[in-house]
Amino acid sequence: MIKRLLVMMIVAMIVLGLAPLAGAEAYTFEGIHAGLTLPDKVYQTVLTPANLEANAAFIQSKGGTVADWQADFAARGILLQAYDTTENRVLVVTALADVDGQQLFDINEHDSATRAKYRVAHGASGAYAVLGYRYDSVSWRNFPKVGRFLQLRYSYREGGEVVRRGYQRRTIRNGHTITVDLQVFGRQLTGRDNTALNRVFDTFTFSQVLPVPPLPLTLEETATAPVETGDASFTMRGKTKPGASLRAVLISFGSSASQVFETTANRAGNYSLPIQLPGEDVYVMTLTVQSPGFDDISRSYNIRYQQGLLPAQIAAEPPMELLEDTFTLAGSTTQSGVRATLSVNGRETSANVGRNGQFSFEIDTSQEGAYDIRLVLSKRGLQDRVFQYKVQRALSPQAREALLMQGALSPTYAQLLADPDAYDGKLLRLEGTLVDKQNLTDTWVLRLALTHQEESFSDLVVLTSETDPGLMVNTPVRVYGTMTGMNISQDEQGNEEALPKLTLSLISAQ
């Protein structure tokens, strides 16, 4: 009886395409009705959600805990993670019931336009780029046994640095985004890596393909409501479920009066919804899409209507404090024939806005200090649009030191004493030990010893600063400061003491 049962199981696995090769091991993933087989003696450690506790020692060797890895497997939908340490490769199979899985359910049941849109999502400006992936090869292939999968080659970055590369196969089926990912660490990809992935992927199969349920409502806008407009009318267009009703409620901020505009999507799901603004005002509009048996979709819009207004939007406004050597001020307008004039601290640059309505200016912010930025967009017959910003460029200590190094002098102490007038008003770079600091009427007075022999300090320089440098006495330091003559005072014995005096620009511990 047992032998007969084993024979029946093997026959079933062969029918489903899950029969293992000699010495190989098959894995089934019940949640997505799929499975695959790993080749023999390739993957030394194979983790699944069910065996993480049994592999606690391996997980600890990777610097993790079983609890953390259980949470990570659940969050990322990891079904299998297999390690080929010989080739520095990790095979990861994931399945996520994400938004794509819920909205599309089975990519094979959608048209070429939908598949093309999903493929483009893997491009430079797609959703996966935000997650750190950079794909240099993306293409669909319809496999005879398992349907359509994207074939992908990528590099993955963290903090701007490439941490791994790899090949992937990805699809949407049975309500999940399914990915078979061969990750490669510490080297470039080779054809052998793709072959290794294919060796596993060729065994991948679905034991059951679920029928596509009624999918949730979607709304894809090809023409939306303007944020700003100088025209009293506009038309919203897009695509949703065929026969769905669309209802836009427009409410005026000035009078609280409301208007309703309605339409119905045609048999192809396309819709056109004209909107007429009753007068100059600021409006809030809510668009609701409804279809029997589905949850409603609602979107809100803020609209400013003013006759003669030149509509414009700034893509990214400069922050109050700039941290980089350049900043790009970019934006867009819906009008053609617009002239853009940028003024930075009184220095102007002008350019015509392109036909696509996009404009951008790269601003040099390498110098520390205040920046008064003014952008004017103009077109004959329309009111000028003016955008003004007052920002500050603050250099990091490293950047400030690099800038100061370019013009700083490094005279000897004897040269400073012999001819202080020659260095008056000059930027100096000195190294020594901070031997004293005092706060005198909102001014910090520091003493720097350029020479240190055993327990004695000599060759003293006086430094003044508006703020506490934050360093302890007896700290070796490097300072940049402007020579402001000699500091005349009395030493402990009452004798006159003349020391070189600098206004501090930068101090850093050595």
Residue 434: which CATH number? 2.40.50.140
Instruction: Count the neighbouring beta carbons within 10 Å of the beta carbon of residue 288.
Output: 14
Q: What is the pLDDT of residue 159?
A: 82
Same domain as 471, residue 360: no
CATH of the domain at 54: 3.40.1000.10
Q: For residue 205, which of 12, 442, 429 has the smallest C-alpha distance?
A: 12
Q: Tell me whether residue 192 is in a domain.
A: yes
Considering the domain architecture, whether residues 188 and 299 belong to the same structural domain is answered as no
Among residues 206, 230, 257, the one where a domain terminates is 206
Judgement on whether residues 364 and 408 belong to the same structural domain of the protein: no
Instruction: Give yes or no: residues 175 and 202 share one domain.
Output: yes
Asked whether residue 361 is assigned to any structural domain, the reply reads yes
| Whole-number Å distance between alpha carbons of 123 and 136 | 8
Q: Are strands 321-322 and 385-393 parallel, antiparallel or unpaired?
A: parallel
Residue 424 lies in a domain: yes
| Same domain? 340 vs 412 | no
| pTM to 2 decimal places | 0.54
Tell me: do 362 and 486 sit in the same domain.
Answer: no
Whether 161 is covered by a domain: the verdict is yes
Residues 26, 46 within the same domain: yes
Residue 214 maps to a domain: no
The SS3 call for residue 245 is strand
Cα–Cα distances (Å) from 373 to 327, 349, 363, 364, in that order, read 11, 11, 9, 11
**Euclidean distance between CA atoms 435 and 466, whole angstroms:** 18
- The CATH number covering residue 249 comes to 2.60.40.10
Q: Does residue 317 lie within any of the structural domains? A: yes
Residue 21's pLDDT is 43
Is 238 found in the same domain as 109?
Answer: no
Judge if 364 and 467 occupy the same domain. Answer: no
The number of folded domains in the chain is 4
Pick out the chain residues at pLDDT < 70.
1-23, 396-401, 403-404
| Residue 153 sits in the same domain as residue 168 | yes
Q: Are residues 198 and 62 in the same domain?
A: yes
Tokens standing for 210?
């679920």
Question: Which range of residues forms the domain containing residue 428?
Answer: 398-509
Single residue among 362, 393, 424 that ends a domain in this structure: 393
What pLDDT sits at residue 354? 86
pLDDT of residue 389: 93
Please indicate, yes or no, whether residues 362 and 297 belong to a single structural domain of this protein: no
> Is 2 part of any domain?
no
Contact 267, 293 (CB under 8 A): no
- Kindly list the strands in the beta sheet with 358-364, ordered across the sheet, starting from the edge strand earlier in the chain: 313-314, 326-332, 358-364
pLDDT of residue 401: 67
193 is a domain residue: yes
